[in-house]
């Protein structure tokens, strides 16, 4: 069942974000990854509720605010390990968002579809936050 796969993906995301938050050097990045880990845990809980036949709780405390993005370019002075971890997380978010795209179309229950769309939007926001951090710190070169 795709929801079971989604639950496993969210579990993996929580572990990645928590683990990587403990490894990065920048305090702002550590806070961002910790915030996203909490949101991923909320997604895991929502899917678990759906698997139990319950109405998922789509509201969650914390993480609802958008991080400050002043679009100023900062020279990256951290270690390349931070960049590698962020590249892995961004790739994960791209994959997970794509997974939820499929799940949306295969959800017969409108409540499940709505919850999955909510999760997918959050995943896209996570990717945007990671991209913005990477781009503003010279870790992601945008080609126009």
pLDDT at 68: 47
Global pTM value: 0.86
For the domain made up of 2-56+78-136, the CATH class stated in words is mainly alpha
Give me the DSSP letters along 20-49. Answer: HHTT-S-HHHHHHHHHHHHHHHHHHHHHHH
| Token output for 16 | 């990645």
Q: What is the four-CA torsion angle of 84, 102, 14, 3, rounded to 10 degrees?
A: -150
pLDDT at 73: 47
Residue pLDDT, tens place only, 46-74:
999 999 999 999 987 654 444 444 444 45
pLDDT at 76: 52
């Amino acid at each position: 069942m795709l929801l079971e796969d989604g639950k496993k993906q969210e579990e993996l995301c929580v572990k990645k974000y928590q683990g990587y938050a403990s490894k990065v050097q920048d305090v702002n990045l550590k806070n961002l990854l910790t915030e996203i880990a909490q949101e991923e845990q909320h997604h895991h809980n929502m899917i678990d509720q759906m698997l139990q036949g319950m109405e998922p709780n789509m509201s969650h405390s914390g993480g609802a605010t958008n991080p400050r993005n002043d679009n100023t370019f900062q020279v990256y002075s951290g270690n390349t390990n931070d960049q590698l971890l962020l590249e892995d997380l961004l790739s994960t978010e791209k994959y997970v968002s794509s997974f939820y795209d499929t799940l949306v179309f295969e959800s017969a229950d409108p409540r499940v579809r709505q919850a999955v769309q909510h999760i997918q939007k959050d995943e896209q926001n996570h990717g945007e936050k990671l991209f913005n951090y990477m781009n503003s710190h010279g870790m992601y070169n945008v080609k126009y």
